Structure 1
Amino acid sequence: MGATGATGSALLQRLVALGVPSRALSRDPDRLWAGLDEAARWLVEVRGADAQDPKSLRNAFHGADQLFISMVNSPAQVALETRAITLAADSGIRHIVKLSAPAATSDSPVAISRWHHSIEEVLRDTGLTHTLLRPYAFMQKLLTLAPAIAARSVVLGALGNAACNYVDCRDIGDVAAEALVRPQIAGRTYTLTGRRTFTQPELAELLSVVLGRRIEYVDLPPAAMRQNLVEHGHLPDWLADHIVEIQQLAVARPEQPTDTVSRILGREPRTLEAFLSENIQHFRTGPLADRR
């Protein structure tokens, strides 16, 4: 589930590369199928499924033995993922790999992390083998900064000099694939990061080098950052709250990188420098990425 998202699509590509047959679910299966290349079409079965439609989920899960689940964050997330997990267990699925979040505890200061904790509790109650992936900030999310960088040469934030972990969604997808094909690493919780942390001034400096012009980091008070996200970024209140909450958590609890990606994959994780270079045109012209 989530086969068209940044992580789900990366996982699908990795499973195809490994020659592993899989089933990809989407509310728009024709669009998903059209995006697959010839090699993928030999290995991937595409089915329509909607988390709000129990019948479609039962049909989609029938005959499967493992499930990767990644849903867009939303206020309905707990109800939707809970339904999917319950139906998956009833359908005979034996192992679920869930994309979760850091600090997924009942008392987390980040609301979405509390949602993920609730969903993880549902998973535990099913008694199924489950693997939890807790990645830090997706490098792909940095593409949402592209308009301000392209137009005004600024990165806005409320992080001060706090350092942040970033991880490439392709590395998350590769780890998810390993959890699905290597039973010996299933059933655990993995915190996923890149190889090092970056402050926002360091991020701005990297962008300056890549783009060949000066990019400045502008630090805002949390309330001003939230207002900017709502008024200028046109984000819903809950999502603006989340961004500010996650940034303030990094200020309050300094983030540290892990070696989980390299231990599981046997190689170093992709670097932030490489990601920025690969996506230089986005930061020059400012289009938003059309993926979660």
Structure 2
Amino acid sequence: MIVILGASGATGSALLDRLGTLGVPSRALSRDPESLRARLDGLGGGPVEIHAADAADPDSLRVAFKGADQLFLTMSNSPAQVMLETQVIDIAAEAGIGHIVKLSAPAVGPRSPVLFSRWHHAIEEHLRSSGVTHTVLRPYAFLQKLPHLAPTITAQDVILGAMGEAGCTYIDCRDIADVAAAALTRPELAGGEYTLTGDRTFTYPQLADVFSSLLGRTIRYVDLPPDAMRRNLTEHAHMPDWLAGHIVEIQQLAVTHPETPTDTVERVLGRPPRSLGAYLRENLHQFR
């Protein structure tokens, strides 16, 4: 049995869909099981158990992990993430789960310039010390995060950022989920560390050009100094300061450590990753 912690999120729900298509039994954990059940109605595919569970509630995890042999671990970034994920790992090990696939982040390390990457480094280190076989996925920016650009595109025909001419290797969450499903169903992939990207980099000016072509109007990129970008996110997007800081750190990481596409998705799945253009065409209504 494969347990998916974070089954309501973009990657977790895509993994649930993929395992269903493969006919692989899975157990989806959610703090809101009824909403998840409503989303899954009519999907078909393999059998899915839905359990109410919360990473902050150890007893709920112990119940949810009974009889499971693999775990997909993904959580929303938060200041409590290290504490919560290491707790999940410990409970999974106690429950006899033999393989954990963890969704991590790029540029992990104790001195990473990105706060979230330092968090993920600490979690990965704990996972290594747990004795559980583990697979680590390190994706770059999700295509599914692009709708965060929609407010200024729809209202002002602009994209705001602090990346200059640096490129970003966007990846579709569905490709991440497909790689995760492969790691959970193909034993030869277990134990690896996989950096996941799309098939090319896009600068923000290039991204603006793509939007211009698809929307039929001119979209401009406006480059801001990092501090100004952070203020814009807290004052206008109403983000908490720690999250705004993370977004700016990620954008600056692309400046100081240029992103390079990998061939991991194609090597694992035998097909190219989904493209930025294809994703935008599917979701263009969000940017009109």
| TM value normalised by structure 2 | 0.97
How far apart are residue 38 of structure 1 and its match?
Answer: 3.2
Structure 2: distance between partners of 1:49 and 1:238: 26
| Contact 2:21/2:46 (<8 A) preserved | no
Number of residues of Structure 1 aligned to a counterpart in Structure 2: 284
Confirm or deny that 1:282 pairs with 2:281: no
Residue equivalent to 1:102: 106
Confirm or deny that 1:261 pairs with 2:265: yes
Query: Which residue, out of 3, 9, 16, partners 1:12?
Result: 16
Q: How is 1:16-55 mapped onto 2 (pairs within 5 angstroms)? A: 16-40=20-44, 43-55=47-59
CA distance 1:164–1:262, change in 2 (3 Å): same
Residue equivalent to 2:171: 167
Confirm or deny that 1:58 pairs with 2:62: yes
Query: Which residue, out of 126, 129, 132, partners 1:128?
Result: 132
Residue equivalent to 1:289: none
Structure 2: distance between partners of 1:30 and 1:41: 19
User: Which amino acid is 1:214 matched to?
Assistant: T
CA distance 1:10–1:238, change in 2 (3 Å): same
Query: What secondary structure, in the 3-state scheme, does the structure 2 residue paired with 1:242 have?
Result: helix
Structure 2 gaps, min length 5:
none
**Cα RMSD after superposing both structures:** 0.8
Structure 1 gaps, min length 5:
285-292
| Contact 2:23/2:46 (<8 A) preserved | no
Confirm or deny that 1:244 pairs with 2:248: yes
| Contact 2:19/2:46 (<8 A) preserved | no
Sequence identity (%): 67
How far apart are residue 147 of structure 1 and its match?
Answer: 1.2
| Contact 2:149/2:159 (<8 A) preserved | yes
Greater RCO structure (CA 8 Å; 6+ sep) = 1
How far apart are residue 30 of structure 1 and its match?
Answer: 1.0
How far apart are residue 41 of structure 1 and its match?
Answer: 7.5
Residue equivalent to 1:190: 194
How far apart are residue 73 of structure 1 and its match?
Answer: 0.2
CA distance 1:42–1:99, change in 2 (3 Å): closer
CA distance 1:196–1:42, change in 2 (3 Å): closer
CA distance 1:53–1:41, change in 2 (3 Å): farther
Residue equivalent to 1:287: none
